[in-house]
Amino acid sequence: MAARLALRGVALGYLALLLALPLGIVFFNAFGGGFHQAWAAITQPDALHALWMTVLVTAIAVPANTIFGIICAHALVRSDFRFKRVLDAALDLPFAVSPVVVGLALFVVYGRTSPVGAWLLAHGIHVIFALPGLVLATIFVSLPFVVREVAPTLAEIGTEQEQAAAVLGANAWQTFWRVTLPSIRWGVIYGVVLSTARSLGEFGAVSVVSGHLAGQTETLTLFVEDRYQAFDPVGAYTAAVVLALLAFATLGAMNWLAAKEKSKWQSLPATSEKASATTSP
């Protein structure tokens, strides 16, 4: 009994010191000068523009990765092709690569000194230090989430329904739109939630390719750093609060969706069956 309480104490204490207390201080610092001061800080033009940039970049990156994710999952699970194992392994790269390296990679490919970059610039297309660079960086880092959620789902639901549709005369596309997609929708939605959270929070990669032009190429995460460096702690903390609230919303959505998936929800993830089924050698 004592051991149980001790373990509980250690666990909760650890979480409090590492997660809860620091977050609490951020909220405290943001609203310490009163709600009006915080509101003024977050509604200044640069802050609003940064929020807009974050939303815009996410609104482009997430749908792109969703479409790719569904297509890729379909390819991995329903087709056989030569580079399937390579593709599957490569999908994990965005998880393991440092965000700064992502930024550098884009800088090398699309910067002024590369042939690709020079050609684009000559045709008036700015990638680095402009919106397309931010979008490409964000797409890179949030790329695998939808695939990795949809593929197991697709594998699990099996092909009977699709085969039935084929027997009834549907062609490949009709089957895909009307049978496959609806059955994987919760996997898609969950992947979209994770992908969105990752896109909203991206910092390192966009930091390299953005140029930090306040009011033009700053996202909300870059804005937090910018305000901190500019001796504007309230500005930094209020922007951080907005991002933290978005993070909480993500956590809420994740848990709500997990509940929808599992009829008996004890607030614990219970996907070991799926996990073991999908890690077959």
Partner 1 sequence: MAATDLALPARWTRSKSNNGIGLPAAPGIATAYLTLIVLIPLAAVVWRATSDGTSGFFEAILQPQALAALRLTFIASLAACALNAVFGTILAWVLVRDDFPGKALINALIDLPFALPTIVAGLTLLALYGPHSPLGVHLAYTQAGVGLALLFVTLPFVVRNVQPVLMELDLEAEEAAASLGASQLTTFRRVILPSLMPALLSGVSLAFARSMGEFGSLVLMSGNIPFKTEVASVHIYGQIESGDVAGAAALSVVLLAVALVVLGLVALFQRRAARGS
Partner 2 sequence: MTSRFLSLALAATVLFAAAEPAFADGHVTLVAYSTPREAYQAIIGAFQKTPQGAGVTFDQSYGASGDQSRAVEAGLPADVVAFSLEPDISRLVKDGLVLPTWAQNAHRGIVTDSVVVFVVRQGNPKHIRTWDDLTKPGVDVITPNPFTSGGARWNVMAAYAAQLTTGKSPDQAVAYLTSLFQHVSVQDKSARDSMQTFLSGKGDVMLAYENEAIEAKRIGSPVEFVIPDDTMLIENPIATVAGSSNLRTAQAFVDFLYSDRAQTIFGTYGYRPVVASAAKNFSFPIVKHLSRITDIGGWDAVNKKFFDPQSGVVAKIESQIGGH
Contact set with partner 2 (CB under 8 A): 56, 59-60, 63-64, 67, 111-113, 117, 121, 126, 128-131, 135, 177, 181-182, 211-216, 229-231
Judged by CB under 8 A, the stretch of 33-41, 42-50, 85-93, 125-133 that binds partner 1 is 85-93
User: CA 194 to CA 144: how far, in whole Å?
Assistant: 10
Contact between 213 and partner 1 per CB under 8 A: no
Site string for partner 1, 148-187 (x = CB under 8 A): xx-xxxxx--xx--xx-xx-----xx-xx---------xx
Binding at 208: pick from partner 2, partner 1, none (beta carbon under 5-8 Å per type): partner 1
* Residue 153: closest CA among 278, 280, 272: 278
Binding at 175: pick from partner 2, partner 1, none (beta carbon under 5-8 Å per type): partner 1
Please, are residues 47 and 41 in contact by the beta-carbon 8 Å criterion?
Answer: yes
Supply 211's token pair: 């140029």
Q: Which of residues 133-152 bind partner 1 (CB under 8 A)?
A: 136, 139-140, 143-145, 148-149, 151-152
Binding at 177: pick from partner 1, partner 2, none (beta carbon under 5-8 Å per type): partner 2
User: CA 239 to CA 15: how far, in whole Å?
Assistant: 23
**Nearer Cβ to partner 2, position 189 or 258?**
189
**DSSP per-residue string spanning 225-280:** HHHHHTT-HHHHHHHHHHHHHHHHHHHHHHHHHHHHH-SS--SS---HHHHHHTT-
Binding at 182: pick from partner 2, partner 1, none (beta carbon under 5-8 Å per type): partner 2
State the minimum distance, in angstroms, from the CB of residue 275 to partner 2: 29
Count other C-beta atoms under 10 Å from residue 74's C-beta: 18
Cα radius of gyration rounded to whole Å, the chain: 22
Q: Which of residues 12-31 bind partner 1 (CB under 8 A)?
A: 12, 14-15, 18-23, 25-26, 29
Please report, for residues 8, 67, 153, 170, 208, the alpha-carbon distance to residue 88 in angstroms, rounded to integers and kept in the order given.
39, 17, 16, 29, 28
Site string for partner 1, 29-68 (x = CB under 8 A): x--------------------------------------x
User: CA 259 to CA 150: how far, in whole Å?
Assistant: 17
The angle formed by the CA atoms of residues 188, 189 and 190, to the nearest 5 degrees, is 95
